[in-house]
């Protein structure tokens, strides 16, 4: 389905969203349409733009399930499409930066400063 502004959605008829994905370039618009195949770039039911990155075997289903990852930049022209913070707000994911910092002065359990390669003795 295509919205009035020409932006494709992959939602059932009547379930419009207010996104503008696919307006940055013709290539993304075409990739989202997927007229000849199931598109690998699609807007989810939550309004987030996803890229299918793999398949997983599901126990209760004969067909594999798709593994989707939010798409932050257009793979064709590089335009920012959505932010990590915006997606996290929509899907309700907490930011990893909110976790408590270690109180060991920035050293890992082996006593080396974080980000440094381990030292061989």
Give pLDDT, residue 67. 94
Please compute Rg for the chain using Cα positions: 20
Give the tens place of pLDDT for each residue, 49-87. 999 999 999 988 888 898 999 999 999 999 999 999 999
The predicted structure's pLDDT at residue 37: 81
pLDDT for 47 beyond 90: yes
Q: Which pTM does this prediction carry? A: 0.60
β-strands 41-43, 49-56 pairing? antiparallel
Tokens linked to 60? 């209760």
């Amino acid at each position: 389905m295509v919205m009035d502004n020409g932006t494709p959605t992959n939602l059932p008829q009547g379930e419009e969203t207010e996104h503008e994905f696919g307006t940055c370039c013709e290539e993304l618009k075409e990739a989202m349409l997927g007229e000849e195949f199931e598109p690998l770039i699609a807007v989810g039911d939550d309004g987030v733009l996803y890229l299918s990155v793999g398949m997983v075997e599901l126990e209760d289903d004969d067909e594999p399930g798709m593994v989707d990852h939010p798409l932050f930049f257009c793979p064709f022209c590089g335009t920012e499409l959505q932010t990590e913070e915006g997606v996290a707000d929509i899907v309700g994911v907490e930011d990893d930066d909110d976790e408590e910092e270690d109180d060991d002065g920035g050293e890992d359990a082996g006593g080396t400063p974080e980000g440094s390669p381990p030292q061989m003795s």
